[in-house]
């Protein structure tokens, strides 16, 4: 079971460069999320999607764009990378919450350094 | 009041001891509750869901108190391998299906 797969796992970017992080899930989940995690800050939601073709802003969306063209994929783009975007990025997916506690599954993370 | 609050710790506990974590949440409409475990430089992984009646999984017991809006996690007979950060997660069943993570409580089990 692949679950949630993120690529790449590690990347070093120069300030101003662009890149895309890919998240793929094979569990037929409707919902997908992109988080960033910084020391002492916990997980912060960047963008999320409740279905194919839909996206929405989370807590810290500035400097990022996303697309959900296919149900199984959720792409996170950095158009012009800044050192403040150095972080660990986690993708997650789940079914909609039915009140019975549907689990949120995470990818292994993508370590991004912007120099 | 923060949406989900946890004591950041660290909790330094001798092996074999019992340790308890609490987490408070502010949204009374929250429907689903979880404890996740995160090891250093790894992704968060589900430890257990928290049900209204409370639930147990081996050495781990989770409780929910809706009236006071807090959840708890009890770890009995702690092992060295329990050292990790424990994240409280609260999910609201509404149109946006908001998922809020606490910042986590760090636990160090001492030999």
For every one of its 111 residues, what pLDDT tens digit does chain B have, with 9 covering 90 and above? 678 999 888 999 999 999 999 999 988 887 789 999 999 989 999 999 998 888 999 999 999 999 999 999 999 999 999 999 999 999 876 656 778 899 999 999 999
Structure tokens at A41: 């800050």
Q: How confident is the model at residue A102 (pLDDT cuts 50, 70, 90)?
A: confident
pLDDT at A40 over 90: no
Chain A residues with CB under 8 Å of B45 CB are: 106
Q: Do B103 and A90 touch (CB under 8 A)?
A: no
Residue B69 near residue A8 (C-beta atoms within 8 A):
no
Which residues lie closer than 8 Å to A9 by C-beta, 6 or more apart? A108, A109, A110, A111
- Tell me the pLDDT of chain A averaged across its residues: 93
Which residues lie closer than 8 Å to A39 by C-beta, 6 or more apart? none
Residue A28 half-sphere exposure toward CB, CA atoms < 13 A:
0
Cα(B48)–Cα(B68) distance, rounded to whole angstroms? 21
Question: Among B41, B44, B97, whose Cβ lies nearest the Cβ of A106?
Answer: B44
pLDDT digits (tens, 9 = 90+) for A57-98: 999 999 999 999 999 999 999 999 999 999 999 999 998 766
A59 vs chain B: nearest CA distance in angstroms?
Answer: 10
- Nearest CA-CA partner of A110 in A48, A23, A18, A42: A23
Structure tokens at A94: 């789940």
pLDDT, residue A101, reads 56
A114 vs chain B: nearest CA distance in angstroms?
Answer: 18
């Amino acid at each position: 079971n692949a679950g949630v797969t993120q690529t790449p796992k590690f990347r070093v970017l120069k300030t101003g460069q662009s890149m895309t992080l890919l998240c793929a899930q094979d569990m037929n989940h409707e919902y997908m999320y992109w988080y960033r995690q910084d020391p002492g800050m916990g997980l912060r939601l960047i963008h999320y999607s409740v279905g194919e073709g839909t996206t929405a802003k989370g807590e810290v969306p500035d400097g990022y764009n996303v697309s959900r063209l296919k149900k199984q994929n959720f792409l996170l783009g950095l158009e012009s990378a800044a050192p403040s975007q150095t972080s660990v990025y986690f993708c997650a997916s789940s079914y909609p919450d039915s009140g019975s506690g549907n689990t949120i599954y995470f990818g292994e993370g993508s370590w991004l350094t912007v120099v | 009041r923060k949406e989900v609050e946890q004591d950041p710790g660290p909790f330094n506990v001798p092996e074999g001891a019992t340790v308890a974590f609490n987490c408070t949440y502010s949204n009374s409409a929250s429907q689903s509750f979880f404890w996740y475990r995160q090891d250093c430089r790894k992704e968060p992984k589900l430890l257990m869901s928290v049900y209204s009646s409370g639930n147990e999984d081996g050495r781990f017991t989770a409780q929910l108190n809706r009236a006071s809006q807090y959840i708890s996690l009890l770890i009995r007979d702690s092992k060295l391998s329990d050292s990790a950060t424990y994240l409280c997660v609260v999910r609201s069943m509404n149109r946006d299906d908001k998922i809020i993570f606490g910042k986590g409580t760090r636990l160090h089990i001492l030999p």
